């Protein structure tokens, strides 16, 4: 009996120790998986990061769940991309009581514009991801000044990894013959990548996945693929693959694999972190375009 009591006490201690430790962490909400990963790298074990649009989710067309209101209400910091990506966020913040401190991770980045729309996919250039990280670092330091030094050290380490990643991308692209540096993606998510690294992307869908590609857009892409002899089209984890399969069949351009633009994968997938995502994309591009 005494032994039983001993184990019972141990069990109670173990069960209560965990939540106490978790509560000491700063609650941070990121609007989508890529920001969640950046926030985790900067926050380390000082933060508890919750992501609203999780792995393989489409942030363009997200409908907040009732539980999201509570996540925002409990957060010390809410991280958004901005540039018009999270159109659903203002109402969500309002319904949560509107007290959360918000940071726009793309702050100070000059947006690319397509007509009247800002292109929100700024994170696809690694140099821009550096700016995201410094904005997140500074915001964490403001809401949690006692840990500011820790956030700064984490950010420093992660920024060095991003610098190495940027060099890796440039080295990989240099292997692709310039005439082959053209690809088709489902939606127009790689404009910043294209501008930074010199690969041309053409997409039947615009900068949002909200509206479908028109028959005329698709016919235009097919003409371009044939005229420019574009070798490969790519699928996306957030988009229906049927359109790309059809374009591939009609033009003979092969499916070059999947590019991850707006969403990471789950832990066991090809792109569970931002760095994995960029590495996967350059591998897919170089293997489809090099020969
Ligand atoms: Zn997108």
Q: Are residues 160 and 31 in the same domain?
A: yes
Question: Is residue 40 assigned to a domain?
Answer: yes
Q: Are residues 45 and 144 in the same domain?
A: yes
Q: Are residues 34 and 150 in the same domain?
A: yes
109: CA distance to ligand 1 center in Å?
17
Q: pTM of the prediction?
A: 0.90
159: CA distance to ligand 1 center in Å?
24
Domain boundary among 150, 168, 186: 168
In tens, the pLDDT along 282-291 reads 999 999 998 6
What is the full per-residue pLDDT of the chain (291 aa) written as tens digits?
A: 566 666 655 555 555 554 445 458 999 999 999 999 999 999 999 999 999 999 999 999 999 999 999 999 999 999 999 999 999 999 999 999 978 899 999 999 999 998 888 999 999 999 999 999 999 999 999 999 999 999 999 999 999 999 999 999 999 999 999 999 999 999 999 999 999 999 999 998 888 898 889 999 999 999 999 998 899 999 999 888 999 999 999 999 999 999 999 999 999 999 999 999 999 999 999 999 986
| Percent of the chain as helix, strand, coil, to the nearest 5 | 55, 15, 30
Q: How many domains does the chain have?
A: 2
d(CA 276, CA 285): 14
53: CA distance to ligand 1 center in Å?
13
- For the record, the structure tokens of 194 come out as 């294209």
83: CA distance to ligand 1 center in Å?
11
CATH number for the domain that contains residue 61:
3.40.50.1980
Burial status of residue 279 (CB atoms within 10 A of its CB: 0-12, 13-18, 19 or more) = middle
Domain residues for 229?
Answer: 171-289
16: CA distance to ligand 1 center in Å?
42
Torsion angle, CA of 173/176/181/187, rounded to 10 degrees? -60
Compute how many other C-beta atoms are within 10 angstroms of the C-beta atom of residue 88: 18
46: CA distance to ligand 1 center in Å?
30
Q: Which single residue is written with the structure tokens 């044939």?
A: 226
Q: Which single residue is written with the structure tokens 């010390």?
A: 76
Question: Is residue 250 assigned to a domain?
Answer: yes
Domain boundary among 153, 168, 183: 168
Question: Is residue 18 assigned to a domain?
Answer: no
Torsion angle, CA of 94/98/103/107, rounded to 10 degrees? 50
146: CA distance to ligand 1 center in Å?
36
Q: Are residues 202 and 150 in the same domain?
A: no
Q: Which residues of 162-177 are buried (b: 16+ CB within 10 A; e: fewer)?
A: beebbeebeebbeebe
């Amino acid at each position: 009996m005494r032994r039983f009591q001993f184990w019972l006490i141990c069990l109670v201690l173990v069960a209560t120790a965990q939540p106490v430790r978790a509560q000491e962490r700063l609650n941070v909400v990121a609007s989508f998986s890529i920001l969640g990963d950046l926030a985790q790298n900067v926050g380390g074990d000082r933060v508890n990061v919750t992501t609203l649009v999780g792995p393989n989710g489409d942030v363009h067309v997200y409908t907040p769940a009732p539980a999201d209101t509570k996540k925002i209400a409990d957060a010390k910091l809410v991280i958004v991309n901005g540039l018009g990506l999270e159109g659903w966020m203002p109402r969500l913040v309002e319904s949560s009581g509107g007290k959360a401190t918000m940071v726009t991770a793309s702050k100070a980045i000059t947006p690319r514009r397509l007509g009247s729309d800002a292109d929100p996919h700024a994170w696809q250039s690694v140099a821009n991801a550096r700016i995201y990280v410094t904005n997140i670092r500074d915001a964490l330091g403001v809401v949690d000044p006692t840990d500011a030094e820790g956030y700064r050290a984490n950010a420093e380490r992660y920024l060095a990894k991003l610098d190495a990643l940027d060099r890796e991308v440039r080295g990989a692209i240099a292997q692709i013959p310039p005439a082959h540096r053209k690809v088709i993606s489902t939606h127009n998510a790689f404009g910043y990548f294209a501008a930074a690294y010199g690969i041309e992307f053409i997409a039947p869908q615009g900068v949002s996945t909200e509206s479908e590609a028109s028959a005329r857009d698709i016919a235009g892409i097919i003409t371009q693929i044939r005229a420019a002899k574009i070798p490969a089209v790519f699928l996306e984890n957030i988009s229906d693959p049927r359109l790309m399969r059809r374009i591939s069949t009609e033009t003979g351009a092969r499916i070059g694999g999947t590019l991850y633009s707006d969403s990471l994968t789950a832990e066991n997938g090809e792109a569970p972190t931002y760095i994995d995502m960029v590495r996967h994309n350059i591998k897919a591009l170089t293997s489809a375009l090099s020969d």
